Chain A
Amino acid sequence: GEQVEQLPSILRVQEGSSASINCTYENSASNYFPWYKQEPGENPKLIIDIRSNMERKQTQGLIVLLDKKAKRFSLHITDTQPGDSAMYFCAASVDSNYQLIWGSGTKLIIKP
C-alpha cells in the first residue's frame, strides 16, 4: 500500500535550537499534509497543516515546507522549548479515498 516515510525516528536537540523532521510520500495526487503532535498517553493534536496549493506555511514557531516535485514535506520547529518534547507525526491524504496515510513518527527530545 501507499506509504509515508518519516525521518528521523529520534531527534535530540538543544533547547533554543531548531528541529527539522522530513517526510516523503508516494502518491502524486496527495493534496493535504497535516502534522500532529502526540504527548505520552495523550491523543494526537494538529499543530500545522499545508495543502498542495502552497509551498510554505508558518505559524507560532512552526514552519512547514512542501516540495511537490520531490514529493517531500518537512516540519521545522524554531527556538525549541522543553514543552516541544513529544512524538510528531506527518501524514498525507488524497481527496478521493478518505484515507490519511501516517508517517512512522519522530520522537523529539529537547535537551536543557
Chain B
Amino acid sequence: AQTIHQWPVAEIKAVGSPLSLGCTIKGKSSPNLYWYWQATGGTLQQLFYSITVGQVESVVQLNLSASRPKDDQFILSTEKLLLSHSGFYLCAWSRDWGDEQYFGPGTRLTVL
C-alpha cells in the first residue's frame, strides 16, 4: 500500500525567515506529485507539479520554490517568508495525470 507523509506537522515562523516543507511517498514508483496551498476555510490552489525526478513546474508565482531530489520526495521552500504564506500546505500524488489525487496530512504554517 502507498503512504504519503508530510513534515513538519505544523510550523510557526517569522516573516523573512526561510522555510522548508517535505513530502515523501512510499510504495509507488514514479508518481506524479503536487503541492497545494489552502487558506483557512478556503479553496485549494495548486502551486507546483512534478511528473519525474528533477523536473518541477510552477503553476502560480507565490515566492515559493519546489524541488524533487528523489523519485519519492518533494520539497517546498522559500528563503523569505511573507505573512501571506500562512495556511495549510498539502502534498498529493497520483498514478498518472487525470487519476485520483491522494493527499498527505498537510502542514499548518503560521507566519508572524
Contact = CB atoms under 8 A, between A and B. Distances in A.
Interface of A: 31-32, 34, 43-46, 49, 51, 89, 91, 93, 95, 98-105
Contact of B43 (A93, A99, A105): A105
Contact of A104 (B32, B43, B100, B105): B43
A105 B42 contact: yes
Nearest to B108: A41
Contacts, number: 46
B73 to A, nearest CB: 19
Contacts of B41: 105
Given A32-B98, A95-B97, 14 more contacts: A44-B44, A44-B90, A45-B103, A46-B101, A98-B32, A98-B49, A98-B57, A98-B97, A100-B34, A102-B44, A102-B45, A104-B42, A105-B41, A105-B43
